[in-house]
Structure 1
């Protein structure tokens, strides 16, 4: 590794992730991009205004939309730990609308699905998210969708290997 790659890799290892894995392996080829992505991801994953439960829900919807098995393998177990019911995760995996979502979970789910499917959200969906999370929360929700889309694209293009996981693989 070049000195810049070593520094970028060490920053990921020293951060809350604790290891270099998933999208950071192919991103290491562009250390400055990886460093910027790592900092954004650290905020969105660990300090988002939405909190871990709702952030993980947004990540799962994004992983499903992009058919991204690495994101799914990493985040489905984290989502369970954060309080997302396994039935909700299974519904998302099978492209079904999850039942029994709280108002906040429904706002996240609807926002993410619309944003991925139509590249925009309706006024009603935006208003529901705004009422639930405020301006910063809606902005962080957009950031989560964009950031995990970026990572999905990187890993899909690089054909990143799926790590061992307790999560069932994404169905075809």
Structure 2
């Protein structure tokens, strides 16, 4: 895979390379500084991605950060499934930040490079794809395009992850769609 993935991804990321239009405030008030400090001192170790525009609303930043931390650091989905799903969402909604941030994490978690390349190009998954990863792609695509799941897809999810795991996966998709949309509008740059 190309180290500068967002520059060569097909289809292209529309906001890649554009100037950020909703970055963090120029100066931080006490609440904004406290929210920034929580991020810096927490597992993220910095203020980046969706938290740049969210600094304008510290209570939202803190709530969104907590949901993300729960999904990423206290979730029950295995690392490969979680990182794969984040990559799928990033491509489905054309978000350069989450794609560039989570692609190496997906690779490190053992997601096959050929599957990630298929997502990057928008092509069919390899035939020997792990069943739960293929199902997660179907779920993300159905949710984003149809705003619901087909009965068969829902039944497959319950068989694969049970109710609790299905709720976690649905929440993971929804969370990352939300932060991707925010960053797409804000034109948040990819990670440095």
TM-score (norm: length of structure 1): 0.91
Alpha-carbon separation, structure 1, partners of 2:134 and 2:190: 29
TM-aligned CA deviation for residue 47 of structure 1: 2.1
Structure-1 residue corresponding to 2:168: 140
TM-aligned CA deviation for residue 83 of structure 1: 1.0
TM-aligned CA deviation for residue 102 of structure 1: 1.3
TM-aligned CA deviation for residue 51 of structure 1: 2.1
**Contact 1:70–1:161 (CA under 8 A) maintained in structure 2:** yes
TM-aligned CA deviation for residue 50 of structure 1: 1.3
Q: 1:19 aligns with which of 46, 67, 70?
A: 46
Alpha-carbon separation, structure 2, partners of 1:112 and 1:67: 13
Greater mean alpha carbon deviation, residues 64-73 or residues 50-59: 50-59
Structure-1 residue corresponding to 2:115: 88
Structure 1: which 4+ aligned runs deviate by more than 3 Å?
none
Q: Within 5 A, what are the aligned runs for 1:1-172? A: 1-99=28-126, 100-164=128-192
What 5-or-longer segments of structure 1 have no aligned partner? 165-172
Computing the radius of gyration from Cα coordinates, the structure with the larger value is: 2
1:39-75 Cα deviation digits (max 9, x unpaired):
0000112222212211111111110111100110101
Greater relative contact order, per chain length (Cα 8 Å cut-off, separation 6+)? 2
**Contact 2:85–2:133 (CA under 8 A) maintained in structure 1:** no
Residues paired across the two proteins, number? 164
1:113-147 Cα deviation digits (max 9, x unpaired):
21112111111111111111111111111111111
**Contact 1:46–1:52 (CA under 8 A) maintained in structure 2:** no
Alpha-carbon separation, structure 2, partners of 1:18 and 1:163: 13
TM-score (norm: length of structure 2): 0.82
Alpha-carbon separation, structure 2, partners of 1:77 and 1:104: 20
Alpha-carbon separation, structure 2, partners of 1:27 and 1:49: 27
**Could you say what the CA RMSD is over the residues aligned between the two structures, in angstroms?**
1.1
Higher helix share goes to which structure?
1
